[in-house]
Structure 1
Amino acid sequence: MMEIVHDMGHRLTHYISSDAHWWVHLVFHLVVFGVPVALIIILSATGYRALRRRRSVLAQQAQKPSAKSGTALLQYIFRASWKRQIKLGLLATASLPALYMSLELPKLIINNAIESGHFPVTYLGMEFSQTMALLTLCLLFLLAIGVHGWLKYQVNLQSGALAEHMSRRLRLDISKFSFRKPSPRGGELIPVIVQEVEPVAGYASESIVLPLLQGGTFLTILAFMLVQDLVLGIAATALLPLQIFVIPRFQKKINALSRTRLKEVRVLGEKIGNISNDHQPSARDIYGSYKRLHDLRLSIHKNKFAMKSLNNFISQMTPFFFYTIGGYLVIKGDLTLGALIAVLTAYKDMGAPLKELFRYYQAQADAHVRYSEIKPYISKEIEITDNQFADVTVLSEAG
């Protein structure tokens, strides 16, 4: 194992000469050796913590055999929309080859059509002049981005339709439960149907396709960078360990504040629902709930925007490694200018899927919190036999 690591290190260090500036050696060794080690350590620690949490959950379920996991959020999503999820997954997968071609063709245009002086060339029995080769590659690039854009449009369109389908399905299931077992505290049901349902439905539409599409996009761009140059590909992930380490800690705090806010909204709804009753709350209690919701929302916004600002700053730092290492390799002649421009262009597209994946992590945690508020109003054991509720059952099964 040590021989493999030594051989890999020797192959990588041939990129820089012994007489290079000290800052080149510093940045190079930090990127090539420091980043993978940090990434392995953080991913190992994250996996170990996830395994411990999983064992703890399994131990709790073993102590409570009556607890049912069938009403978990993911099971509910798959039970209600598995066919649509598969269709979305296929569309997302089909868009990745078109994405790779849209990254590869600009490099070919610069290196093979603009800078190359070896014309005319013969390809597939056809002779191409420099102008004809340039026009052909540009048309192929236009076709690649057109196909990729159309597939992403279909994914977004189908995802939006799925969100509306899940929103309607959740509201129908909640209505079945409330009609069968009406509660005297009707104010509790209003925030559940109005506020909690739509974020959960939005997450349901993205639960499979977003990590598949955005994660696949990130890996496709990273693979493209690694093919162009191994060091630049590693440099693209230079600050990824810092993002993995910092972002989840902000998210935990935001999740805790979101749970507190949801509980306060439920309490406020109950207070407003009891205004017309004999035991109506005082105005000070209601105004106090307003103040607590105001403070909670401000705290959520501060942490959320601090997390986004830090993530944006980290993302903007990575081009420093590209300009430093990539520029040095171009000066030495170990990397073409077209490959460096293609890598820089690809990295600009690399930030969007990372942001979407972090947003997905946030939406996932928020959806589980909201679903915990919805779950008491959803019951699979309800059997509505009264004619007055038969239409609700039919609509729910049809949706």
Structure 2
Amino acid sequence: MPEFHTLAHDAAAALGFNYDSTAPAWLHPMMHLVLVLAPALLAVTLAAKAAWLLRRRLQAAPAAGAAEQGQDGGAWAGLPRQILRTTGRHQMVLVLLSLTAMPILYLTLELPKQIVNRVFESQDIAVPVLGFELSQVSLLFLLCGAYLAAISLNGLNKYWLNISKGRVAERFVRRLRLTVYRQWRRDRPAWRKPAVMPVLGPEVEPVGGFASEMLTVPLLQGGTLATILLFMFVQDPILAAAALTVLPLQLIIVPRLQRRVNAVSRKRIREMRLLGEILDRGMRGPGQGALPAARSFRQLQDLRLQIHRLKFLAKAINNFLTALTPFLFYSLGGYFVLQERVSLGALVAMLSAHKEFSAPLKDLFRFYQQSEDVRIRYQEIRAFAAPAIGAPGFAQAAGRPRYTPAPARCGTSFTHERKSPL
């Protein structure tokens, strides 16, 4: 396809790199992959993700509106809206701390490059810096001192950010527990009594953790990715494009595996509540519920093993795809250094930046997984806290009680609550 070949040459020329038939044979397919195929696949993937999110938002809007028209002010409206309504002022502090980390991060990437280029590779005895003539040794200590100050500021910023996130999480967990407890105490049929403790304990706490990360993770980790990409494009745009080569595959594979994990996680949550009901019936008389409890233990084991297999498969695929990018850096970047297109210091700095690039990308994927898990947990908490309508939420099926969540109904708002010693 001559048009495809011409497109790759034109893209390379636009980025300041001209190559012809005298270039190594492996360079041509690599440039096609980095400058044409991978960007096109990334654009299509991002467009598809945006369309899917928009369609999901439009489908969820009528349900959210119906929830807000319910009883007692809509305590069970959308989770993001409740988080902002409850911890809005504290979220602003988290946003400011997240944005402050970006310029500090850029300094930690730029200073090692300056150390290599201006000290180790420089042939000058005296180097001009801000109108002063400094020796190479003095410049080395100056740059190392600046790097030490930058990483110290970065550590302090992360410390205060984590402390603030912990306060937001615990504040939201307390409010959510109060809301669930008040709803449960006001309308508590017999089948819901033994299940309230796992709801108030392990099911509520992940929702509080998500409340502290709902804005900070996209801002901090997304901003970290943007800062690293900006640094890479400043050094060399072609190598920066190479860093994004495997990103489309990660965006396609990881969410598909996560959807399968979500389905199994929902079954596990319901099975835990079912086990609580079985154990409660077993305490009322000897010999009651022994066989159903053993079956539930086996079911929980199988579900947990399914979750482990899916999660570690996603992790293995993600780690393999992430390890492919250094291969592109060493081959393509090494060729650019030999051609004197890129300095050795810039290549070393880009390799260091790529190590930082994979961490926020993994955190963003983890945040996506966490948001999906919390969404499921929040829906189950809503189904538990809502009063049962008609028949109780446990129905007999094949000799075992099977939990079926009742339709959600709005409860007491936890934004306008009275002071309580709880």
Deviates more, 1:109-118 or 1:6-15: 6-15
Pick the structure with more helix per residue: 1
CA deviations 1:323-352 (Å, max 9, x no partner) are 111000000011100000000001011111
Query: 1:321-332 to 2 correspondence within 5 Å?
Result: 321-332=328-339
Contact 1:271 1:280 in 2 (8 A): no
Contact persistence 1:192–1:373 (CA under 8 A)? no
Matched, 1:178 2:195: no
Residue 222 (str. 1) matches residue 229 (str. 2): yes
* CA displacement at 1:69 relative to structure 2: 8.8
Residue 128 of structure 1 corresponds to 134
Residue from 47, 52, 55 that aligns with 1:52: 55
Distance in structure 2 (CA, Å) of the matches to 1:317 and 1:12: 23
What secondary structure sits across from 2:194 in the alignment? helix
Q: Which amino acid aligns with 2:203?
A: E
Distance 1:381 1:369, change over 3 A: closer
The aligned residue for residue 105 of structure 2 is: 99
Aligned to 2:196: 189
1:109 aligns with 2:115: yes
Matched residue SS, 1:100: helix
Cα deviation code 1:205-242 (max 9, x no counterpart): 11111111111111111111111000010011110000
Measure how far apart 1:282 and its partner are: 2.9
2:95 paired residue among 70, 89, 97: 89
Distance 1:109 1:300 in 2: 46
> What is the Cα-based RMSD across aligned positions, in Å?
2.8
Matched, 1:244 2:251: yes
Contact 2:337 2:344 in 1 (8 A): yes
Identical columns (%): 40
Q: Kindly tell me: are residues 17 and 328 of structure 1, through their superposed partners in 2, closer, same or farther at Cα, counting changes over 3 Å?
A: farther
1:199 pairs with 2:209: no
187 and 65 in structure 1: CA distance in 2 versus 1, 3 angstrom threshold: closer
Post-superposition offset of 1:268 = 1.3
Deviation at 1:154, TM superposition (A): 1.2
The match for 1:348 among 330, 339, 355 is: 355
- Preserved contact between residue 101 and residue 141 of structure 1 (Cα < 8 Å): yes
Choose which of 37, 40, 45 in structure 2 pairs with 1:37: 40
Instruction: Write the distance in 2 (CA, Å) between the matches of 1:65 and 1:374.
Output: 17
Structure-2 change in CA distance of 1:221 and 1:270 (3 Å): same
Q: Where does residue 147 of structure 2 map in the other structure? A: 141
Letter in 1 for 2:187: K
**Superposition TM-score, scaled by structure 2 size:** 0.85
Residue 291 of structure 1, CA deviation: 0.8
SS where residue 204 of structure 2 aligns? helix
Find the aligned partners of 1:341 and 1:43 in 2 and give their Cα distance: 30
Q: Distance in 1 between matches of 2:270 and 2:76?
A: 24
Q: Aligned pairs, how many?
A: 389
2:377 counterpart of 1:374: no
SS at 1:275 equivalent? helix
2:261 to 247, 254, 271: 254
Partner amino acid, structure 2, of 1:129: S
Gaps of 5+ in 2: 1-5, 387-408
Cα deviation for residue 89 of structure 1 reads: 0.8
In structure 2, the partner of 1:339 is: 346
Map of 1:387 onto structure 2: none
SS in 1 for 2:56: helix
Find the aligned partners of 2:67 and 2:147 in 1 and give their Cα distance. 58
Matches within 5 A, 1:142-161: 142-161=148-167
CA distance in 1: counterparts of 2:66 and 2:143, whole angstroms: 64
Give unmatched runs, 5+ long, in structure 1: 385-391
Query: Which is further off, 180-189 or 86-95?
Result: 180-189
Closer, same or farther: CA 283–310 of 1 in aligned 2, 3 Å? same
Counterparts of 1:313 and 1:19, CA distance in 2 = 33
Match of 1:165 among 171, 179, 188: 171
Q: Quick one: distance in 2 between partners of 1:246 and 1:263?
A: 27
